[in-house]
């Protein structure tokens, strides 16, 4: 599945099906990286549609897919304050394409079915819907996306109390914070968690996150910047995508450590940076 994003000054294409690390650079890199993240998240969140009411199964399935996609993406971009953008996007798989725009505060998306499923003329509508749904969803490579913002060091220092799991579950922060809540609510540290980052021990004690003998927010910015990258790379799989904004931030002295860490990733990496970071 390939995702193409066009702004007035840049065009980016990313293939979600391969493991190759991608780099988004240029003036619009942050915006493009975030829209890419939300397009991938929308694909991941879109539900199966075989339970809809349908008089014309293929037409109704296509219309419902467009409706669900547009609704989910609009909601995500609204929370992230990104509906003011002006851009074009296209998501392409062998059997279908999703072509759309973000313009004047509104998302428009249309589905093009490039290959049609084989349906029997007098087939039951429910059976036809199940066939159609399975035919196209088998073509959609759903990978769970994560995003690590450029301002991660400040976010971890500010919201460290929300990271540990407590008996009632991870507390989390409101979804209304958009990209910030996506980031913080994805970093869930179990009781007993312990990790070494740049020679410093990060661990949980009494429902607090510590770095060595101090609360986490007192840690050096290099540790706070690298810690989320360590966490996501060590806790992701081949079915995940990690978008890392400006991975080099606060890590000028540790570029080789960063490169070696990125090479360990099982997930596909999308690096949003003007720096040349080879993996």
> pLDDT value at position 279?
58
- Decide: residue 196, CB within 10 A, 0-12 exposed, 13-18 middle, 19+ buried: exposed
pLDDT digits (tens, 9 = 90+) for 20-43: 999 999 989 999 999 999 999 999
Its pTM stands at 0.94
| 278: in domain | no
- Regarding whether 174 and 90 lie in a shared domain, the answer is no
Residue ranges for the chain with pLDDT beneath 70: 166-171, 276-279
- The pLDDT score that the predictor gives to residue 106 is 95
Q: How many CA atoms lie within 13 A of 15 on its CB side?
A: 6
In terms of domains, do 129 and 10 share one?
Answer: yes
Final residue in a domain of this structure, among 92, 121, 142: 142
At residue 255, the pLDDT reads: 92
pLDDT at 186: 94
**Residue where a domain terminates, one of 142, 168, 201:** 142
Q: Which residues pair with 242 in a beta bridge?
A: 146, 269
Domain span including residue 226: 145-272
Residue whose structure tokens are 């009411």:
53
Interstrand relation of 268-272 and 240-245 (parallel, antiparallel or unpaired): parallel
**Per the domain annotation, does 193 fall within a domain?**
yes
End-of-domain residue from the set 142, 162, 179: 142
Domain shared by 157 and 228, yes or no: yes
| Residues 245 and 30: beta-carbon distance below 8 Å | yes
* 277 falls within a domain: no
What pLDDT does residue 275 have?
A: 80
Answer yes or no: is 279 within a domain: no
Q: What is the pLDDT of residue 171?
A: 61
Query: Does 68 reside within a domain?
Result: yes
- Could you tell me if 81 and 11 lie in one domain? yes
Q: What is the pLDDT of residue 204?
A: 95
In a domain, 254, yes or no: yes
Residue 171 lies in a domain: yes
Domain co-membership, 129 together with 226: no
**CB-based contacts of 252, cutoff 8 Å, min separation 6:** none
Do residues 86 and 183 both lie within one domain? no
Q: Are residues 96 and 183 in the same domain?
A: no
Radius of gyration of the chain (CA): 21
pLDDT recorded at residue 119? 83
Domain count along the chain = 2
């Amino acid at each position: 599945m390939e995702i193409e994003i066009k702004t007035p000054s840049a065009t980016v294409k990313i293939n979600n099906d391969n493991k190759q690390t991608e780099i988004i650079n240029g003036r619009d890199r942050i915006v493009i990286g975030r829209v890419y993240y939300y397009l991938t998240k929308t694909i991941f969140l879109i539900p199966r549609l075989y339970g809809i009411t349908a008089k014309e199964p293929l037409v109704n399935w296509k219309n419902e897919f467009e409706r669900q996609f547009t609704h989910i993406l609009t909601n995500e971009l609204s929370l992230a304050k990104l509906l003011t953008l002006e851009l074009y996007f296209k998501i392409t798989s062998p059997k279908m394409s999703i072509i759309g725009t973000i313009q004047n505060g509104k998302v428009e998306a249309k589905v093009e079915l490039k290959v049609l499923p084989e349906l029997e003329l007098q087939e039951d509508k429910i059976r036809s819907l199940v066939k159609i749904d399975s035919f196209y969803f088998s073509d959609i490579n759903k990978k769970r996306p994560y995003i690590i913002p450029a301002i991660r060091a400040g976010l971890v220092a500010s919201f460290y109390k929300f990271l540990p799991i407590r008996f009632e579950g991870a507390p989390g922060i409101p979804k209304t914070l958009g990209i910030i809540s996506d980031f913080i609510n994805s970093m869930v540290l179990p009781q007993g968690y312990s990790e070494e980052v740049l020679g410093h021990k990060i661990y949980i004690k009494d429902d607090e996150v510590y770095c060595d003998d101090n609360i986490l927010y007192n840690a050096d910015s290099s540790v706070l910047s690298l810690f989320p990258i360590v966490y996501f790379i060590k806790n992701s799989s081949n079915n995940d995508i990690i978008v890392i904004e400006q991975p080099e931030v606060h890590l000028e002295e540790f570029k080789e450590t960063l490169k070696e860490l990125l090479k360990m990733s099982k997930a596909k990496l999308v690096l949003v940076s003007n720096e040349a970071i080879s993996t």
